[in-house]
Amino acid sequence: MENPAEEIKHVIQTLTQGTPEEQHDAIYRYYTPGATFEHPFCRVPSFTNLNVPGVGHFDSRALITAVYRCAIQLQSHLAEQTFNHRFLSPDKILSPRINLEIESCVLDEKTNIIYLRVFQIFSIWCIPFHRAPVRLVSVLHLAPTIPSDAGTPPPPYDAAKEKLHAVQEGAEPSYAAVASGGASAEQAEQHHQEQQEEARRRATRYLIKKQEDLYQVNEFLKFVLLGPGAAMAGLLQLFSTLTCLVGAILLGPFMKAIWPARAGNAKQKQY
């Protein structure tokens, strides 16, 4: 990906709604060899060039492909027929796809991490009435790379020719202006460095080296326990909140009694 923030939505749609061939090509194109995948129900460790007798050499991308392929095969046709048409066009209602919508996408350029907030409807065809609408945050760790086939090597750098072209366009001062003190002699070198940096940035490609799918507890319980399980988890969370409230009320007088003494001892140590 040259521009991850703009291209990642197309990548995710291809992974979850593309044909098996498109899905396979997307994983081997946008994931690094040895990429890792983490999900509450499965994990793909990092490995490369693994030799399996009778099968050949492969890396962790083969397992990531299998995970996506299995997830699509488990999707229910019935769930897709009742799914909101804003996610899939009518001509794809009868095809096995993971139904999802990317609600937000944020790229942290300092750490090369993409945060995706995703709404997804998951349904297993062999379980009657199974339908799990869930939300998750997918964290994609990117690795900047420069492909070997980025293009033909640039021609040899000609400083005089580049200087003449820049002067004609008005981007740099002429040698006469520099000699007369009308401009800085370092501008030509600075301009050249900026051009090199821009060329390097354009040649950089970003690949996914790690994918983490993060779910709240009540969200991933919907996969196995459906709505009642998620509701039970929500009740347990409320019970924990009430327990904290009761503990704060009961222990409040005790903490008020011992806290001034500890604060006084800390001040005495400072002096």
- In the prediction, which pLDDT does 93 show? 36
Predicted pLDDT at 118 = 93
Give the CA-trace dihedral at 161, 165, 168, 169, to 10 degrees. -160
- Which pTM was predicted? 0.67
How does pLDDT run across 178-215, given as a tens digit for each residue? 455 444 556 656 665 666 666 565 668 999 999 999 99
The segments of the chain whose pLDDT lies below 70 read: 73-98, 125-127, 147-203, 261-271
Report the pLDDT value the prediction gives residue 188, as an integer from 0 to 100: 58
* Domain boundaries along the sequence of the chain: 4-145+206-215, 159-202, 226-271
CATH number of 4-145+206-215, picked from 3.30.1330.30, 3.40.50.2020, 3.30.930.10, 3.10.450.50: 3.10.450.50
pLDDT at 258: 78
DSSP for the chain reads --SHHHHHHHHHHHHHHS-HHHHHHHHHHHEEEEEEEEETTEEE----SEEETTTEEE-THHHHHHHHHHHHHTB-HHHHHTS-TTTS-GGGTTS---EEEEEEEEEETTTTEEEEEEEEEE-BTTSTT--EEEEEEEEEEEEEE--TTS-SPPPPP-HHHHHHHHHHHTSS--HHHHHTTSS-TTHHHHHHHHHHHHHHHHH-EEEEEEEEEE--HHHHHHHHHHHHHHHHHHHHHHHHHHHHHHHHHHHHHHHHHHHHHHHHHHHHHH-
Look at residue 136 in the predicted model and tell me its pLDDT: 93
